[in-house]
Amino acid sequence: MREVKFFSGENIPLEMHKVRMVQRVYLRPIEERAEAISEAGYNTFLLRNKDIFLDMLTDSGVNAMSENQYASMLQADDSYAGSETYYRLEGVLQDMFNMEHFLPAHQGRACEHIISRLLVKPDSTAIMNYHFTTTKAHICQLGGKVEEIIIDEGLEINSSLPFKGNLDIEKLKNSIARIGKKNICFVRIEAGTNLVGGQPVSMQNMREVSKICRAEGITLVYDASLLSDNLYFIKIREKEFADTDIREITREIGSLMDIIYFSARKLGAARGGGILTSDQEMFLQMREMIPLYEGFLTYGGMSVREMEAMAIGLQESFDMDIISQTPIFVKVLCEELISKGVPVVTPPGGLGCHVDAGQFCSHIPQEKYPAGALSAAFYLASGVRGMERGTLSEQRNPDGSETPAHMELLRLAFPKRVFTLSQVKYVADRLTWLYENRQLIGGLEFTEEPRVLRFFFGRLKPIGDWPEKLYKKFRQDFGDSL
């Protein structure tokens, strides 16, 4: 995608692809949406796709694939062992990151499981810029702890800092001195902080973190799931790399890390995942776990057709016209919402537009899940499914008390090459209407609360009759319009 200056003087996002296959979507009447969200326990994860107009829940496994990806699937070698598909994918990844060893896994959280089993010991600490839900769950399940050292600006809703995902170098040094390097299982960098606005990490920060970890003998792990967005931001926001080829940027990242893992449901626009390392000893230890938990070493629980598509998708991650669409669409939606007074995380990051539910629903206390309530309310008002990223996505403390999130966000994700500009404008319009009527939104409480990863399949109910009030206001303002 490119921003092109029109004769009117506006800079308009211009897609650098044409649509050759489409999928029908349905905008259900608000009566049907009200029934659907109630049946889903006011948890957008439990909505059925048939009831959704625009699915902005996630960019995981829902990106549009290219014609070359579909074509590649026809050459898949479905041998159980020794598949040529595996060796093609391995070659792409070795060239991409300049790392020696590749282990396949069925998706990103499977990679986290393998890495955690290798490195996490009871009472050890994983240091990272910010946790992701499944990452933290794997570490805690093995008796480990998580310490977050994102820079202070990373937890501010509004900022002009271009790399809010950076690790705080002084905090890192202090954590190592306080915890002791023998008690640190690994340091992790997430390339685009999923839970706090999709904010990128600079190459300079990665260099500094890598230098410290190597001096201390601490394993440095890199979650590359959101790498394509991060590459885009390094290219346009870090002056040193304005004229550097994206392949060279990626290879330098590989040279700084001990382990890289990724979800191909995000990076590569396919489905699957993988682990890379040049450390022979760690590779051999992880290799033993792949057949036990994933599948044989040359498929790792993945379909070989997906592996072929992944190999092409990874190579397409070096094309700025492809990897720029999500950040540009995020920017467009954020700027439109800001112009209407709707609070969002700034600067616009990758992955999606992150609405500040804490301010949007400032009348709802955190223990009543304002981001979850906003997510349900926005579906009711628009048919658009977003994702709660706040206290609902945390886990309770051992004593049963809540762990308040640093931010209460409604994430509206942008799968690559899926939505059009008119759909983006629809999202902005309905969210603006909801903001004007935000006092109608009330809190939620659990009726069914799983112990782990409750945001995936927990069920809630509204506190009071606020969905009915919101429905009546919608009908008053929009009449018979959907």
For the annotated catalytic residues, the residue numbers are 80, 132-133, 223, 266, 389, 455
Q: Cis omega (within 30 of 0) on the bond before 347?
A: yes
Specify the long-range contacts of residues 237-244, CB closer than 8 Å, at least 24 apart: 237/162, 237/163, 237/200, 237/202, 238/162, 238/163, 238/202, 238/203, 238/204, 240/203, 240/204, 241/203
122, with CB counted inside 10 A (0-12, 13-18, 19+), is: exposed
The 3-state DSSP class for residue 168 equals coil
Strand order of the β-sheet with 184-190 is 101-105, 273-277, 259-263, 220-223, 184-190, 125-128, 145-148
The DSSP string of 76-130 is ----SSS-HHHHHHHHHHHHHH--SEEEEESSHHHHHHHHHHHH--TT-EEEESS
Compute the radius of gyration of the chain from its Cα atoms: 22
Handedness of CA 146, 147, 153, 158 (dihedral sign): positive
The 3-state DSSP class for residue 20 equals coil
- C-alpha separations of 386 from 20, 174, 375, 448 in Å: 26, 37, 6, 21
CA pair distance 236, 178, nearest whole angstrom: 37
